[in-house]
Amino acid sequence: NKMIPHGEQAGKSASCQGCPNQNLCASGATKAPDPAIAEIGEKLSSVKHKILVLSGKGGVGKSTFSAHLAHALASDSTKEVALLDVDICGPSIPRIMGLEGEQVHQSGSGWSPVYVDDNLAVMSIGFLLSSPDDAVIWRGPKKNGMIKQFLKDVDWGELDYLIVDTPPGTSDEHLSIVQYLSSTPVDGAVIITTPQEVSLQDVRKEIRFCQKVKLPIIGVVENMSGFVCPKCKNTSQIFPPSSGGAEKMCRDLNLPLLGKVPLDPRIAQSCDEGKSFLNQVPDSPAAKVYQNVVQSIQDYCLNRATEVQSAT
């Protein structure tokens, strides 16, 4: 972004006038890399695969997808899975995972995440609030501090998969998570969208963001793609793909479309109840699409691992 002064220009350009950060940037203190980044790289070296779930648009089903991806991967009891919720202002993960009201405990080796099952751990700011309805009205720098702590101080242990659920946008949380994970390999990002142009508009920005920060994109999932009336089985496009939906966008941008998940009222219900939709209604067309998407993601991660191994 040519608009933002950086490097030698940081804090010294005309557009830096009046910014509260100006003195800090001009002093050169921001040029030195944050030692926490190396620490985090160390700490997460025991995590085999890291997957970010992003969108750009709000309310498309990122948290729903992240939670069910975690459930699906953890259904293999030999795999250790963790879900990290970095949506500081609107943490939905505790509710969706049925862990509302749980608290985080501190031990000698750091913060202990909350366990859904023996092999499925969760961390979210939701667990640090005194009440699930508490508003977290924080500016960026405070949110960044929290995300740093989640990565540095949580005792994740050895993990096969770490899934990170993000809030909408391309802001502090996204920059921080990419920055703090910069010294450790990240498999890639799964991008969630709905079929409308209003969503795709924001999602294209998110895709550009990934390209800018060199975050590989595993693929795109189109959520809320069609609704089958339970009574007459007629399919309606509730969120019409007026500009070709995710299919056209993926063709245009040369990205894999991992799946199109139809609307099913039971998904919202399961989330509200904190249960896994994949367990509750495994025969639903939506559940089947989810399972296919999860399989594609697993294949991608394994392929990357083999590539990396053969390259070294």
By CB under 8 A, tell whether 232 contacts another protein. yes
User: Residue 92, interface with another protein (CB under 8 A)?
Assistant: yes
CB atoms inside a 10 Å sphere around CB 260: 20
Alpha carbon distance 261, 106 (integer Å): 39
DSSP, collapsed to helix, strand or coil, labels residue 43 as helix
Burial class for 50, CB neighbours closer than 10 Å (0-12, 13-18, 19+): buried
If one asks whether residue 43 binds another protein (CB under 8 A), the answer comes out as no
Contact mark string toward another protein, 273..312, x via CB under 8 A:
----------------------------------------
Non-local CB neighbours of 273 within 8 Å, separated by 6+ positions: 98
Q: Is 242 in the site for another protein (CB under 8 A)?
A: yes
Q: Least CB distance from residue 57 to another protein, whole Å?
A: 6
66 binds another protein (CB under 8 A): no
Question: Which residues define the annotated binding site?
Answer: 56-63, 229, 232
For residue 284, give both structure tokens: 């639903």
| CB of 17 or CB of 107, closer to another protein | 17
Position 259 contacts another protein (CB under 8 A)? no
Residue 265 binds to another protein (criterion: CB under 8 A): yes
3-state secondary structure of 218: strand
Q: 3-state DSSP call for residue 216?
A: coil
User: Do the Cβ atoms of 89 and 133 come closer than 8 Å?
Assistant: no
Question: Helix 62-74 crosses helix 285-311 at what angle (to 10 degrees)?
Answer: 70
Interface characters, 12-31, with another protein (x: CB under 8 A): ------xxxx----------
Q: How far is the CB of 109 from another protein (least distance, A)?
A: 31
Q: What are phi and psi of 230, to 5 degrees?
A: -65, -20
Cα separation of 242 and 245, whole Å? 7
Determine the Cα–Cα distance for residues 70 and 276; give it in Å rounded to an integer. Answer: 10
Binding site for [4Fe-4S] cluster, residues? 229, 232
Nearest CB to another protein, comparing residues 175 and 305: 175
Measured distance between the N- and C-terminal CA atoms of the chain, rounded to whole angstroms:
34
Which of 107, 108, 118, 139 touches another protein by CB under 8 A? 139
- Least CB distance to another protein at residue 217 (A): 14
Binding site for another protein (CB under 8 A): 1, 4, 18-21, 56-60, 63, 88-90, 92, 95-96, 132-141, 143-144, 167-172, 174-175, 194, 196-199, 201-202, 204-206, 208-209, 212, 227, 229-232, 234, 236, 238-240, 242-243, 263, 265, 268-269, 271-272
